[in-house]
Amino acid sequence: MTRLLISAGNGPAECRLAVAHILRRITADSAPDWIQSKPDKHGPASAIISMPPAEAAHWCGTILWRCQSPVRPHHRRKNWFVGVFALSTLPVPKAHLHPKDLRFTSFRAGGPGGQHQNTTDSAVRVLHLPSGLVAVSRDKRSQHRNKAQALLRLEAMLALASVDADNRMRDALNHLHQNLNRGSPVRVFSGAQFKELS
């Protein structure tokens, strides 16, 4: 899997909206693992997402969203930029999970997936007591596989939460945020519906 940083850089609220659009677009096409920074009412400033390398390759680079600002309707600017960067070369702190710090609950997954998924408590939620972080998995058909998936997601969330304590990771991410290239976009989207232009 390839990890991508999706970043609004130092852009305004419209760029946060573009990050949110990109996350919705990616998750509509597949079910990747992702963690977002704390969003404001417009969207997150950044997110780290894990997806297959072939899919990730289609997103790396500058993404341009052409749209009249939904935040400032009379603003003249209509071009909003987001950077998508591969993080494969950056270190990720390894989270150490202790069983005594975890609380698991199962629940009915609901939604698509057939009768088995809808009528059994196959979905899993795990709470990390020291941090209060919660990870959920409902994608798999068995509770055992969802438990494993939830643990992987929790590890990723803890790793992201510890980024500020890891100077090398923080400096590398800040460098990427500051170096968002606003020229030669690899993909262009338009309008409030975030429709891709060919």
What is the structure's pLDDT at 161?
Answer: 66
| 89: confidence class by pLDDT, cuts 50, 70, 90 | very low
For the chain, the domains span 2-90+166-197, 99-161
Bridging pattern class, strands 61-66 and 46-51: unpaired
HSE (side-chain half, CA atoms, 13 Å) at 179: 9
What is the structure's pLDDT at 170?
Answer: 54
Q: What percent of the chain is predicted at pLDDT more than 70?
A: 72
CATH of 2-90+166-197, one of 3.80.10.10, 3.30.70.270, 1.10.3210.10, 3.30.70.1660: 3.30.70.1660
Cα separation, 184 vs 62, in Å, equals 7
Cα separation, 50 vs 153, in Å, equals 10
What integer is the mean pLDDT of 185-191? 94
Q: Which residues pair with 34 in a beta bridge?
A: 49
CATH of domain 99-161: 3.30.160.20
What is the structure's pLDDT at 46?
Answer: 85
Q: Which residues pair with 35 in a beta bridge?
A: 48
